């Protein structure tokens, strides 16, 4: 029996596990996820009657295989498509229609995490949550990992690493692995630049009369990069209420990353009120927030060292390997990597 280990349970890992499980039904797939949830940065929280996607906002239809996976292969019950458009705003907060419409803006009534839940749910993979992997080790021609409690897991014939590039680079830097590939791999993975995003979630006991779902700052000169309305996703927000997801731009997010969250939320609510043009938005009834140190890669990774590592049974996967900080790209890369693992 083939033993496959996967570090991280993001969308990429879920797609890879799903593909391996389909192609090699006898393979034993074990997943280690440091957090309590599945789907990584495509993240959903629930609070009372609220459901909200506070990382990735939606899934686009930009990859044919991913579209087929979502609409045909997986159960599409509860899949929702945001109909309202995305408008743009400039450095002065001036809003105008203008962004080319995405063909689809998908989430689920129960949020984007459904993607990984449904993919893993179709496999026999064992998923260990709240299990952070701290050490990666090559033993003979197989792999082992140690978790934060010091337990050794494995051995695995193939090891897949799904964390964002800086976290994968840290694992590789400390890996117990003698290989001519390692140094170039650590350098290539460590070089991937990331955008930081600080997110505020703002709830209001009234509905907003605006024609758009989202607002994006196209000149990247405003402190806010993105604002969207979770009430446009059926099942997310009770009738007659609004829930805004407000994402600060990279510079603002880096500068205020460790500042008092209440002050950050208040500042982002003020910006939202000004951009949307509704003073009431400065005073939300309830709020939540999240800092994303490694929100989205701004470039891909050099592929030479990644291809070399594969020959030793080490597979790297995720949006940064795909070269695009998008959910569909992470899923597509996971499908590719799963096929490669299964074909060895
Ligand atoms: C604020 C924000 C907004 C975004 N907006 C959009 C959008 O609108 N549209 C879009 O398409 N995409 C968007 N994205 C990007 C999208 O979320 C990602 O491209 C996609 O989710 C990446 O999936 P992944 O599988 O590559 O990795 P991840 O989702 O990062 O999964 C990696 C997993 O590894 C786990 N992990 C890390 N280290 C360890 C360890 N040592 N041990 C065990 N587990 C570990 C993490 O907890 C995580 O669950 C956004 C992201 C953010 C943060």
Domain boundaries, the chain: 3-45+115-192+301-343, 57-111+194-297
Residue 90 is predicted with a pLDDT of 96
- Please identify, in words, the CATH class of the domain defined by 57-111+194-297: alpha beta
- For ligand 1, residues with CB inside 6 Å are 7-13, 32-35, 40-42, 55-58, 60, 132-133, 162-164, 167, 197, 199, 247, 292, 295-296, 318-319, 325-328, 330
Question: From atom 12 of ligand 1, which residue's Cα is the shortest distance away?
Answer: 326
Over the stretch 184-211, which tens digit does the pLDDT of each residue have? 999 999 999 999 999 999 999 999 999 9
Could you check whether 3-45+115-192+301-343 and 57-111+194-297 share the same CATH topology?
Answer: no
Instruction: Tell which atom from ligand 1 comes closest to the C-alpha of 329.
Output: 19
Over the stretch 36-73, which tens digit does the pLDDT of each residue have? 999 999 999 999 999 999 999 999 999 999 999 999 99
Please name the residues in contact with 117: beta carbons below 8 A apart, sequence gap of 6 or more. 38, 39
Residue 177 is predicted with a pLDDT of 97
Question: Among all chains, which residue has been given the structure tokens 């809003």?
Answer: 95
Instruction: Tell which atom from ligand 1 comes closest to the C-alpha of 294.
Output: 53
Instruction: Tell which atom from ligand 1 comes closest to the C-alpha of 14.
Output: 25
Q: Predicted confidence band at 1 (pLDDT cuts at 50, 70, 90)?
A: confident
Cβ density class 272-308: b for 16+ within 10 Å, e for less:
bbebbebeebeebeebbbbbbebbbbeebbeeebbeb
Most informative mutation of 52, 55, 70, 135 for ligand 1 (most atoms within 8 A of CB): 55
Q: CATH number of the domain at 3-45+115-192+301-343, out of 3.40.50.410, 3.50.50.60, 2.120.10.30, 3.40.50.1820?
A: 3.50.50.60
Q: Which residues pair with 92 in a beta bridge?
A: none
- Please determine, for residue 98, whether its predicted confidence score (pLDDT) is greater than 90: no
Please report, for residues 177, 306, 316, the alpha-carbon distance to residue 312 in angstroms, rounded to integers and kept in the order given: 10, 10, 12
Instruction: Tell which atom from ligand 1 comes closest to the C-alpha of 12.
Output: 25
């Amino acid at each position: 029996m083939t033993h496959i280990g996967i570090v991280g349970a993001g969308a990429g890992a879920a797609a890879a596990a799903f593909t391996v499980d389909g192609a090699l039904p006898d393979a034993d797939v074990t997943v280690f996820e440091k957090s309590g949830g599945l789907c990584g940065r495509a993240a959903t929280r629930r609070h009372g009657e609220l459901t909200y996607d506070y990382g990735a906002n939606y899934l686009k239809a930009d990859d044919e295989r991913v579209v087929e996976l979502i609409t045909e292969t997986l159960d599409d019950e509860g899949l929702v498509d945001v109909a309202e458009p995305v408008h743009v705003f400039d450095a002065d907060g001036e809003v105008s229609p203008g962004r080319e419409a995405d063909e689809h803006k998908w989430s689920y009534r129960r949020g984007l995490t459904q993607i990984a839940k449904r993919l893993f749910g179709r496999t026999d993979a064992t998923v260990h949550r709240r299990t952070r992997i701290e050490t990666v080790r090559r033993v003979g021609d197989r792999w082992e990992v140690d978790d934060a409690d010091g337990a050794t897991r494995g051995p695995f014939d193939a090891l897949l690493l799904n964390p964002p590039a800086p976290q994968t680079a840290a694992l590789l830097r400390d890996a117990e692995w003698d290989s001519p590939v390692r140094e170039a791999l650590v350098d290539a993975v460590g070089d991937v630049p990331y955008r930081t995003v600080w997110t505020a979630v703002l709830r209001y006991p009234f509905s907003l009369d605006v024609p758009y779902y989202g607002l994006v700052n196209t000149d990247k000169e405003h402190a806010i990069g993105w604002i969207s309305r979770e009430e446009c996703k059926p099942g997310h927000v009770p009738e007659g209420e609004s829930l805004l997801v407000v994402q600060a731009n990279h510079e603002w997010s880096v500068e205020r990353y460790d500042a008092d969250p209440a002050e950050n939320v208040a500042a982002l609510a003020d910006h939202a009120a000004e951009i949307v043009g509704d003073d009431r938005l400065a005073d939300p009834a309830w709020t939540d927030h999240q800092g994303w140190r490694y929100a989205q890669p701004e470039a891909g990774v050099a592929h030479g060292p990644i291809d070399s590592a594969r020959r030793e049974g080490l597979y790297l996967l995720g949006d940064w390997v795909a070269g695009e900080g998008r959910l569909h790209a992470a899923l597509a890369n996971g499908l590719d990597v799963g096929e490669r693992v299964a074909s060895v």
